[in-house]
Amino acid sequence: MIRLSGIYNESLGGACTLRGYAKYNEIVGLSYPHPGYQRPPEDEHVAQISSFIAAGSNSFSPEIVLAYTARYDYYAQGASSDVDALSDIKSGKGFASNVDGIVFKKERAVANGFLYTLSIPDKKYDHIEDKPFRRVDGNHRLLAIEKLISIGEMRSNYLIPFCIIIFPENANMKDEKIIFHNINSKAIPIRSERLLTSILADSKDEFSFSDKELDENFGHEYLLARKMLESKPLAIRKLRSIPWVSSDLMSALVDMISIVQKRYGDIQTLEAEEAFGNALSNALSKAKLDSGKTLQISSGMLFLLVKLYYEIEMSSSSTEAIQYKDRLLAWADKYQITDAQIDTEQNAANNAECIEAIFKRYVQSTEQTIFMSRCFLPQYDETENAIRRAIKQINEEKKTGIKLIRVDQHQEGTTGQISDRVLRDIENSGLVIADLSSGRPNIPHEIGYAMGLKKALILVYNGSPAKVEDYIPANIKMFEQIRFNGDYQTLQNKIKQCLIDYYKL
């Protein structure tokens, strides 16, 4: 038999509970995560808990919460009709289940209830659901301990606190789910700004943490936050002047570092620390000063910009990272993008994720849009038709959604000039295909605008080499062109290959 000891009493709300300590391997052997409400294990969460426990000196394990249904078969041979499981346990009489063999034996009365010993059959269970206890809270903690035991960093007989909630046999599983929900969703992580300030402050006395202690006991983001407070006073003053940051400065700084580390790894080197400091300063430079002399920038945009500027700093100002950042800023300004949720420090990281997800959807849609710059006389239609056939082939073969637009095919009503729509369509396209065959002056202008926006270009020309001088301006001749002189199949094939190369299909 396996024996567990604990104090029985009724908890707040009338729940019947038994609290005590047991060996880890006993709790694992006797319990399972109920699939009706327990989520699948998250490897990252388990790894974080393992690291926390392995740190040692300041680790603390809250109790594992288990559920048990006290079952009794009144029709079994020798059964007593006088048995009332919960009432008998509450009164100190004790209870012996004739279903699972578990016995509640009162040892003695104590100040706040009864000291009970549970005797549980020590046997192998054919099915995990046959185990007597269901894990309400602490499943990830048990998995983390199991991980540490497997690598020899913890004993299998390590004592852990437990709380067994005892349900009557007629109890509805809904009650158990409600308790699981309340434990896991009602608790709000508490991180007092005053407490954070006292943790990060280095007052050089017995109550302050050294850099090493801060790093080991709280995390590298706390150490880096302290360094930023000391090395970037101007950026910190700017950060504090943002209304949603002012009362949560330390929290904002720690969270900002955390989201950067989540994407790019720990900021451990001096180069990386300097890169983060520069990223913070650059991101704050995008905030706008209002009439009240306070800086205004949404929480999501600030957090997102810090990430993007950090990537730019660490990638030696790569063209791709800079273009992505510039495009996001232009998009956010044009469409007046603000936070998806309430603009507070607590929502900042989620707001940043929402904004970037929306922007990526926008980019994806824009990238697959091709603007066609052409003369709209009928003799140039077959050039466009060949291009459309190439696009259709790619969409069918590669399962893409590439579309070709031209300014005269807008369906929506508009009061704008056609030239305004041309500029807008070029802006909202990832690629421009320009037909130089007509010699019309508007086409080089549209090419120039696209080049200014750093759009990709494909230039085509249908005509004899002798007419090139007359139809293609000198400043465009230097760029590569698809010249096909009436061979539309060649044009189709070459456009198809250009698009496959461009979209990396």
> What tokens were used for 178?
């409600």
* Judgement on whether residues 9 and 156 belong to the same structural domain of the protein: yes
* Judgement on whether residues 243 and 352 belong to the same structural domain of the protein: yes
Instruction: Provide the β-strand partners of residue 64.
Output: 162
Considering its fold, how many domains does the chain have in total?
A: 3
* Judgement on whether residues 85 and 233 belong to the same structural domain of the protein: no
pLDDT computed for residue 410 by the predictor: 46
Q: How far apart are CA 275 and CA 418, in angstroms?
A: 45
pLDDT tens for the chain, residues 1 to 505: 899 999 999 886 778 999 999 988 899 889 998 887 777 777 776 677 666 666 655 566 789 999 999 999 999 999 999 999 999 999 999 999 999 999 999 999 998 899 999 999 998 888 888 999 999 888 888 888 888 887 777 677 778 899 999 999 887 777 777 777 777 665 555 557 887 888 888 777 777 888 888 888 788 999 999 999 999 999 999 999 999 998 889 999 999 999 999 999 989 899 999 999 999 999 999 998 887 778 889 999 999 999 999 999 998 878 888 888 988 888 888 778 776 666 677 788 888 999 999 888 887 777 889 999 999 899 999 999 999 999 999 999 988 889 999 887 544 444 445 578 888 899 888 899 999 988 888 888 899 999 888 888 999 999 877 676 667 777 777 788 899 999 999 999 999 999 998 888 8
* Judgement on whether residues 254 and 390 belong to the same structural domain of the protein: no
Task: Tokens 């590669």: give the residue.
Answer: 398
* Judgement on whether residues 401 and 356 belong to the same structural domain of the protein: no
> What tokens were used for 146?
């199991």
Q: Last residue of a domain, which of 163, 185, 207?
A: 185
Q: Give 476-479 contacts, CB < 8 A, sequence gap 24+.
A: 476/436, 476/444, 476/447
Q: How far apart are CA 492 and CA 433, in angstroms?
A: 13
* Judgement on whether residues 141 and 109 belong to the same structural domain of the protein: yes
Nearest to 71 by CA among 102, 114, 29: 102
Interior angle at CA 311, CA 307 and CA 317, nearest 5: 135
CATH number for the domain that contains residue 389? 3.40.50.10140
Q: How far apart are CA 84 and CA 109, in angstroms?
A: 20
- State pTM to two decimals: 0.56
Sign of the alpha-carbon dihedral angle for 460, 466, 471, 475: positive
Nearest to 58 by CA among 219, 217, 221: 217
* Judgement on whether residues 495 and 438 belong to the same structural domain of the protein: yes
Q: Is 496 left (phi over 0), alpha (psi -120 to 50) or beta?
A: alpha
* Judgement on whether residues 296 and 372 belong to the same structural domain of the protein: no
Q: Last residue of a domain, which of 151, 185, 219?
A: 185
* Parent domain of 464: 368-502
Q: Last residue of a domain, which of 308, 332, 361?
A: 361
Residues 6+ away with beta carbon under 8 Å from 242: 287, 294, 295, 296, 297, 302
Instruction: Provide the β-strand partners of residue 403.
Output: 369
pLDDT computed for residue 199 by the predictor: 85
* Judgement on whether residues 484 and 350 belong to the same structural domain of the protein: no
* Judgement on whether residues 311 and 290 belong to the same structural domain of the protein: yes
pLDDT computed for residue 159 by the predictor: 86
Q: How far apart are CA 9 and CA 139, in angstroms?
A: 24
pLDDT computed for residue 145 by the predictor: 80
pLDDT computed for residue 414 by the predictor: 43
* Judgement on whether residues 303 and 379 belong to the same structural domain of the protein: no
Nearest to 259 by CA among 216, 221, 313: 221
* Judgement on whether residues 264 and 309 belong to the same structural domain of the protein: yes
* Cβ(499)–Cβ(395) below 8 Å: no
Residues 6+ away with beta carbon under 8 Å from 204: none
pLDDT computed for residue 412 by the predictor: 42
